[in-house]
A and B are shown apart, each in its own frame.
Chain A
């Protein structure tokens, strides 16, 4: 659960990069003829919202509204009492609280002529919420926008790579201990927001969120050689299906373990992407988080 450090630090991600992220979404919306996009997140899966605003949905749910022609706004059922904290830790200035998302969406659209409302990754939204939002937007065309923000996150920026390297070094150190308690101390002391530790009889798997990026490391002696072989096979232009015996999950899908996107064997890796390469056998697991480079790969968790 998200109970570690939440911080907005311009020394880590410069202010102009935050603006660029929103601008890229707006460009896509304009190109696709969409007036407003809505991004849904809950405490378990809210990385798109964090990527765009640095906001941590630490409890419950939230909707981020991004108009093609205006500033983003957060719609939340949390009380206005948390707005001060949200402003301090995110780039957001427009925060709107209410008892129901429908009423919040209705108010958001009230001054606009009906147009097209895009629901980012609508397949992952609760159906009840889709119905509520659709009802709140009479006259609007409501359509899904699959992968709109995910696509932008696939290749981390240079500042993000710096954060990923810092985080990878911490996870690599933590993986030396098989002890859950020690892992928690090491990883949370280093400022991770979330940590999930899964020990098995012979291995320990650590999945951690550092700022807004996820990484995974897992160590199991019996799988070490196979993991090394799989990691060696990673490179620009390589099909994931050709990496021997490995499950390959993109780091942007790690909060949900890649369970909603599947494992297409013909997916081609490209330079700049960050993936988790894992060998899973009989409950044991070995894994590393790897940056695909032009010339091969950089193991972030070594």
Chain B
């Protein structure tokens, strides 16, 4: 599939949704921390504090960004050839005004700053504006082969990032310098960005956070959720490693979490729900007497979708979202237990026709620096 065939496929999917919702214009808004829909419709890496792509029911799309450099970045990709700098102090939304749209779907309407909404209302007085966040979420759920090829590159960077993580571990190293080593490696490989949480220590560790200045000690378990972004696509790997040699408790903890990951994978097939994948993982904890540690008091989700946003549909009991073939998500039963403290383990998977494909090649084991350095 060529780039432009991929673009046309996406526009068809979105326009089908627009027709169902009676929309004559879609505005895919992206604030600085949620640009996935702008990327989906433009394939461009924008950096502005606010950007949006305007896709009419018929005709050519246009794009706007508050960062002047973004207009060139968008047109260079070739999906959207009409791109504009949006100067918030002297905005020019003539193209939007000319569309004469009467019913507008806005993706991420829930995050749209009031000053920008006011500008859009001035450009299109009387137009009805409704949320189209779910429309775009649904469009992005199933990945094409074109997208999967990019996500496989992300998977390679996940593996390299984890290797850099393990390689640098040693007593006396502060947590934030682990992150520095990982960032240097994945950026060397072309990663655009990375989301990463970390925790080090022993069984007192109860959750994941940004890094601190804490110095690693022998016997620490060092946990990470490492999520590089390549060509727009985020993919996550979750692993834990022990500085030195793992204790029996740390090994028991790994065995429990690995069983839960495998249980989650075992139920994946087209049409499974996020709820069912979560139940499969949680049942392992419940059967071993650790069911309370699957609650919100100790953990958040049992995984989540991946794509142009790193934290798409949550894998959690009660979320009955259907996961079709070629949906991509991570299965991670990360939580605290009294066995060895918070444990992190998980792999991203693709739903195949008959089950699932694990996208990262990194071995799922409890890493020990005593083995790496042996």
Q: Mark B96-124, 1 if CB is under 8 A from A, else 0.
A: 00000000000001111111010000000
Contact across chains for B180 and A283 when beta carbons are under 8 A apart: no
Q: List residues of chain B with CB within 8 A of the CB of A81.
A: 206-207, 297-300
Within 8 A of A (CB), among B161-179: 174-177, 179
A45 CB contacts on chain B under 8 angstroms: 32, 49
Partner pick for A182 among B31, B184, B206, CB 8 A cutoff: B184
CA distance A257 to B32 in the complex (A): 11
How far apart are A80's CB and chain B's nearest CB, in angstroms? 8
Which chain B residues in 66-94 approach chain A with CB under 8 Å?
Answer: 66-69, 72, 87-90
Contacts of B67 in A (CB 8 A): 257, 259
B194 an interface residue at 8 Å Cβ cutoff?
yes
Q: Give the residue of A180, A182, A197, A262 whose beta carbon is less than 8 angstroms from that of B88.
A: A262
Please report the C-alpha to C-alpha distance between residue A198 and residue B73 in the assembled complex, in whole angstroms.
12
A128, B209: Cβ atoms closer than 8 Å = no
Known contacts: A7-B212, A45-B32. The answer to whether A122 contacts B49 by CB under 8 A is: no
Q: How far is the CB of B161 from chain A (nearest CB, A)?
A: 12
Q: Is the CB of A256 within 8 A of B194?
A: no
Choice from B90, B185, B207 contacting A85 with Cβ under 8 Å: B207
Whether B32 lies near A3 (C-beta < 8 A) is no
> B87, B184, B188, B210: which contacts A2 (Cβ < 8 A)?
B210
Contact B32 A128 (CB under 8 A): no
Asked if A43 lies at the interface with its beta carbon under 8 angstroms from chain B, I say yes
Task: Say yes or no: B114 contacts A125, CB within 8 Å.
Answer: yes
Q: How far does the alpha carbon of A82 sit from the alpha carbon of B49 in the complex, in Å?
A: 27
B212 contacts A5, CB within 8 Å? yes
* Cβ of B181 under 8 Å from chain A: yes
Among A25-33, A152-160, A185-193, A268-276, the stretch in contact with B: A185-193
Q: Which residues of B contact A196 (CB under 8 A)?
A: 47
Chain A residues, CB < 8 A from B32: 42, 44-45, 256
Chain A 1-16, CB-CB to B under 8 Å as 1, else 0, gives 1111111000000000
Contact check: which of B66, B112, B184, B297 meets A184 at CB < 8 Å?
B184
CB-based contact B179/A3 at 8 Å: yes
CB pair B176–A4 under 8 Å, yes or no, is yes
Among candidates B114, B209, B211, B300, residue contacting A127 with C-beta atoms closer than 8 Å: B114
* A84 contacts partner chain B, Cβ-Cβ < 8 Å: yes
Given the interface pairs A5-B211, A6-B210, the reply to whether A44 lies near B176 with Cβ below 8 Å is: no
Whether B196 lies near A3 (C-beta < 8 A) is yes
Is B109 a contact partner of A128 (Cβ separation < 8 A)? yes
Smallest CB separation, A2 vs chain B (Å): 6
Q: How far is the CA of A122 from the CA of B50 in the complex (A)?
A: 16
Q: Within the complex, what minimum Cβ distance (angstroms) separates A61 from chain B?
A: 9
Interface string of B179-218 (1 = CB under 8 A from A): 1110111011000011111000000001101111100000
Residues 271-286 of A, flagged 1 when their CB comes within 8 A of B and 0 if not, give 0000000001001000
Give A236-261 as 1s and 0s: 1 = Cβ < 8 Å from B's Cβ atoms.
Answer: 00000000000000000000110111
B196's nearest neighbour on chain A, judged by CB, is: A3
C-alpha gap A44/B32 in the complex (Å): 6
Cβ-based interface call for A295 (8 A): no
Can you list 26 A-B pairs, Cβ within 8 angstroms, ordered by A? A1-B195, A3-B194, A4-B180, A5-B210, A42-B31, A42-B32, A44-B31, A44-B33, A45-B49, A79-B296, A81-B207, A81-B300, A82-B209, A89-B212, A123-B114, A125-B113, A128-B111, A180-B188, A188-B184, A189-B180, A191-B176, A193-B210, A257-B47, A257-B48, A259-B67, A262-B87
